[in-house]
Amino acid sequence: METIKALMTRRSIRTWTTEPVTDGERRIILEAAMNAPSAADARPWHFVTMDDPSVIKQFTGMGGTEMLEESTFMVLVCGDVSKEIYPGFWPQDCSCAAQNMQLAAHDIGIGCVWIAIHPLEEREQVCRKILGIPESITPFALLAMGVPNEVLGPEYRFDEERLHSNKW
């Protein structure tokens, strides 16, 4: 898929079939995540992968996350401040990794939705409890994936009123 086409057609998919995401597809998605840009190339991230339905189901009680039970593959993106070279950039770096995962998943036909975790302390604690995340690591975003069970057309979101040229 061409890059611009992927950017313009990616949509959040919230319903999946029971077909698993293959090991090869998982590898592509995680390689894309780790190829994301980061401040000073510090790569202050860790990824927890999940495919066990009993683990995945535990995330459905966070409010607005009931659909996660249908996901066959999830990745929790976590920030590690100890890996930063320039303090404070880890959320941007983890966002780049998460976006790369979404685009890679879309490109290979896997549906994905981003569930915000950080800075919602309650959600961070849920992730820590379920997955045993140490206090030194911050759960950042949960990406739920699977073979799509819905087809959403592209949305054109360009808004001329939000452009400012050379000054506000």
In the chain the domains, ranked by start, together with CATH numbers, are: 16-146 (3.40.109.10)
Task: State whether residue 142 is helix, strand or coil.
Answer: strand
The residue among 27, 18, 28, 45 whose CA lies nearest residue 103 is 28
The model's pLDDT over 66-102, given as tens digits with 9 standing for 90+, comes to: 999 999 999 999 999 999 999 999 999 999 999 999 9
Residue 160's pLDDT is 97
Average pLDDT, the chain: 97
Question: 3-class SS at 120?
Answer: coil
Residue-wise pLDDT tens digits, 97-140: 999 999 999 999 999 999 999 999 999 999 999 999 999 999 99
Q: Which of these, 144, 42, 151, lies nearest to 102 by C-alpha position?
A: 144
Contacts of 27 (CB under 8 A, 6+ apart): none
Query: Model pTM greater than 0.85?
Result: yes
User: Counting beta carbons within 10 angstroms of the beta carbon of residue 36, is it exposed (0 to 12), middle (13 to 18) or buried (19 or more)?
Assistant: middle
CA 40 – CA 46 distance, rounded (Å):
17
Cβ partners under 8 Å of residue 47, min gap 6:
30, 33, 75, 76, 77, 78, 97
